[in-house]
Every structure is written in structure tokens, then in C-alpha cells.
A = this chain, B = another copy of it.
Amino acid sequence: MHNPPIRVTIWNEFVHERQNPAVAAIYPQGIHGALAEALSKHGDLVVHTATLDEPEQGLPPVVLDQTDVLLWWGHAAHDQVSDELVTRVQQRVLAGMGLIVLHSGHFSKVFKRLMGTSCALCWREAGERERVWKINPGHPIAAGIGDCIEIEQSEMYGEPFGIPTPDELIFVSWFQGGEVMRSGATWTRGSGRIFYFSPGHEVYPIYHHPEIQRVITNGIRWARPQGEAANTPRHVPVEQAREKIEVRGGTVHVEDGKLAGQ
């Protein structure tokens, strides 16, 4: 049971790091660059980065098809991501690719497509204290994390968060201003595993925090493809039924043998 390396692609819209000096000072190589540097220290991860301004918005099929786990960071440019790319990412997740959605990615087209809900939340940008409590100590995404992660300056993201009930809730955050947030949660969609992790506002150096990096690394290992791709819709001809049966009754399907539907 020696697993092959995990092929990670970090996607970043890469906008605020080039527009806002405060953000540029924290992430001179972009958020994707900072995360790539941190993740590349782990021998089991092979890291690639991609940004919105690249050809095919950084994720042509050849890249997606060779990605085991995709990280998604977007904030100001959600609307610029093409619906075609969103569909491609969704298909890859359903086929087994892992997806880690970070911070403001909660409002990305990709996350909303996979959740089917508003993904809306409350927010406040005041540099207040956040405390990310580990509520599921046995979960591999929480491995190596103490009782909670202290983030001295954070953007408040608060409930109600418009998501389907998570399969597993890993972290819940406390904010100095009085709110709470389901800040680390997982879902499976098709054969793909999804992890949403809310800390990461770009005007604070959150992705430089070792425990935040640890959670993301854990999340990648957890989200790597586990089984097989879910299959596509399939007609089972009568003669292939596992038990011998004979056709009885009518049909809605057209004469020429082409199935009109199912």
C-alpha cells in the first residue's frame, strides 16, 4: 500500500495580489505561490499552479485530467470564470478528483454548482480575532492540530452559511465580534471529495500560518481519489438482465431503436 504522489493544482484568480499593495506585500508570488511553496515541502505532493489569466483560464482538460486534487481561490472575479470551465471542473469532481475550496471561494461558480445552494453567508472585515475549533478530533483533516487554531486577525464569515448539511463537520470558528461559522466541512459528490475551509482573507497572512498549512495539507491527502469514477447513465437491455425476464407491456421509445429517454 504505497500510494503514488498526489498531483495538486492550485488555482487562483490572482487579482487582488496585483491590485492591492497590502495584499501584494503579504503574497508577493500570489496566494497560489505561497501555498505552492508550503505544499511542495511534502514529498507526497506534486504541485502545479494555475491562474485565471492563463490560456483556458489555467485549466485546460490536459491539466484537469492530471489533477488529483484541485485547490480553488477566488474572490473578485468569480463571474469571469467561464461556465464551460465550471462544467469541466464539476465533471472531474464527480469522476473522483478532490476539491479544496478556500475562503471566498464559497461564492465561486464551481462551489455553488456542486452544492446546489446559495452558499451565502455574513461577513465583516475588521481584522478581528478568529478561533478555529477542532470539533472532530478523529478526522484525518484535523490531525496534528491542537484544540483550536488562533488567528489574530481575520475576516468574519458567519452563519447562516447556505450549504447542504455537510457529511462531516471538522471545524467551527468563534469570532471576537460575536459570530460563529462552520469553517471546515466536507461533502462527497459523485466519486469526488470536497473540503471547504474558510480562513484565508487576503489582507492578513493567514496562509503563512503553519497550522492553516497543515489543515490544507491534511485536506489534500483526505481528498485524493479513493475509488472509481461513478458511471454514466446506462441502458440495460432485457437480454442482459441478471435474472431471466421477458418484456411485457408498452414502450415510450421510438421505433428505430434509438432510445428517446429513460
Number of copies: 4
Residue pair B261, A76 in contact (C-beta under 8 Å): yes
C-alpha spacing A33/B231, complex, angstroms:
35
| Given known A1-B3, A164-B189, A172-B180, contact A125–B252 (CB-CB < 8 A) | yes
A 198-236 contacts with B by CB, 8 A: 201-204, 221, 225-236
Q: Is A118 an interface residue (CB 8 A)?
A: yes
C-alpha spacing A247/B153, complex, angstroms:
10
C-alpha spacing A121/B139, complex, angstroms:
17
| Chain A 78-122 interface mask (CB, 8 Å, partner B; 1/0) | 000000000000100010100000001001000001111110111
A interface, over-half SS = loop
Residue pair B177, A140 in contact (C-beta under 8 Å): no
Residue pair B174, A178 in contact (C-beta under 8 Å): yes
Question: Chain B residues with Cβ under 8 A from A1's Cβ?
Answer: 3, 43-44, 221
**26 contacts across the A-B interface (CB closer than 8 A):** A23-B252, A75-B252, A76-B260, A104-B262, A107-B261, A120-B233, A123-B235, A124-B236, A126-B246, A128-B241, A133-B159, A134-B159, A134-B160, A135-B182, A137-B229, A138-B188, A138-B226, A142-B228, A153-B248, A165-B188, A172-B172, A173-B180, A176-B243, A177-B242, A177-B243, A180-B180
